[in-house]
Chains A and B, each alone.
Chain A
């Protein structure tokens, strides 16, 4: 059973370009979470999605950032007009349709590392 798959693993963009990060959750998982890890910082929650729905986007910057999780295909985190401050590792996590009430565990991908030149 494949884990959470993220691609690309590394992405380099120039200021003003767009970045698209993709996340395929574990098989059987329909909940996806995006976290951002800035250099020497912890993980900061960005957005929580279920299929075709945004459940909580309280951690997402109001401008330039958007996320979706369509009925078919991976979840996508989109950053428009990137700036140097967007350079970070972006982690996707998934959980089963009903979170395991014994652990509440999230399963993480290996992350996508965005560098903005």
Chain B
């Protein structure tokens, strides 16, 4: 079955880098996503990566994928207080299938 696991909580100081980790079990996962949820709001897509990629960089965000270990990470450089939110890892077998989400990692950025 499909399962996505994440650490539940991360606390960093403003200006530091944040690394949020995720593991998944479905070896046929093709699309992997990071969504951000601010308090009281819906989910917003931050970035995504295909399973045939090892890394993707988008401004302050770097996604690393270790397909052998089924491990995905999201690095946020120069973390700001506005980055405080819950970050969800999600996977999909195809671009047409439903997404399976982890429980989310709450990132708290202190000044």
Residues on A facing B (Cβ under 8 Å): 4, 33, 35, 40-45, 48, 56, 91, 93, 99-111
B47 CB to closest chain A CB (Å) equals 10
Q: Which residue of A lies closest to B31 (CB)?
A: A104
Asked if B99 is at the interface of the complex by the 8 Å CB criterion, the answer is yes
Q: Which residue of B lies closest to A59 (CB)?
A: B98
B87-111, CB under 8 A of A: which get 1 and which 0?
Answer: 0100010111011111110000000
Contact of B88 among A40, A43, A100 (CB under 8 A): A43
The 6 closest A-B pairs by CB, nearest first: A104-B95, A42-B103, A108-B42, A43-B101, A108-B43, A110-B42
Question: Whole-angstrom distance between the alpha carbons of A101 and B50 in the complex?
Answer: 11
Question: Whole-angstrom distance between the alpha carbons of A4 and B45 in the complex?
Answer: 14
Interface range on chain B (Cβ under 8 Å from partner): 20 to 34
In the complex the two chains form, is A43's CB within 8 Å of B43's CB? Answer: yes
In the complex the two chains form, is A48's CB within 8 Å of B43's CB? Answer: no
Known pairs A43-B101, A48-B98; A104 contacts B48 (CB<8 A) = yes
In the complex the two chains form, is B45's CB within 8 Å of A103's CB? Answer: yes
Question: Whole-angstrom distance between the alpha carbons of A2 and B77 in the complex?
Answer: 31
Known pairs A45-B99, A48-B98; A109 contacts B88 (CB<8 A) = no
In the complex the two chains form, is A99's CB within 8 Å of B41's CB? Answer: no
Asked if B4 is at the interface of the complex by the 8 Å CB criterion, the answer is yes
B2 CB to closest chain A CB (Å) equals 10
Asked if B44 is at the interface of the complex by the 8 Å CB criterion, the answer is yes
B1 CB to closest chain A CB (Å) equals 11
B105 CB to closest chain A CB (Å) equals 10
B52-73, CB under 8 A of A: which get 1 and which 0?
Answer: 0000000000000000000000
